[in-house]
Amino acid sequence: MESLLKSKPRFVYEEGKPKEVILDIRDWETVLERLEDIEDLAYLESIKNKPLEYRDFEDFMKEHYPGV
């Protein structure tokens, strides 16, 4: 994780134990993006072996754009 960070995180301690961390906002955004990528990959992995489902275009249009 530290290889992602451009600046050194600062830790806040309470009673000698780490309680909080302060990150540069750009580093925080990088961490969030990486977490979103991990979530996306997990989702893709979960659907990878499921059978594909198809339906007619006309049925889709009727459901999402009735009256068109």
Summary mean pLDDT of the chain: 92
Mean pLDDT of 9-30: 96
Whole-model pTM: value is 0.60
Share of the chain above pLDDT 70, in %: 97
- DSSP of 39-62: HHHHHHHHHTTSPP----HHHHHH
- The domain ranges of the chain are 2-64
Q: pLDDT value at position 27? A: 95
Return d(Cα 8, Cα 2) in angstroms, integer.
8
**Model pLDDT for residues 33-63, shown as the tens digit of each residue:** 999 999 999 999 999 988 988 999 999 999 9
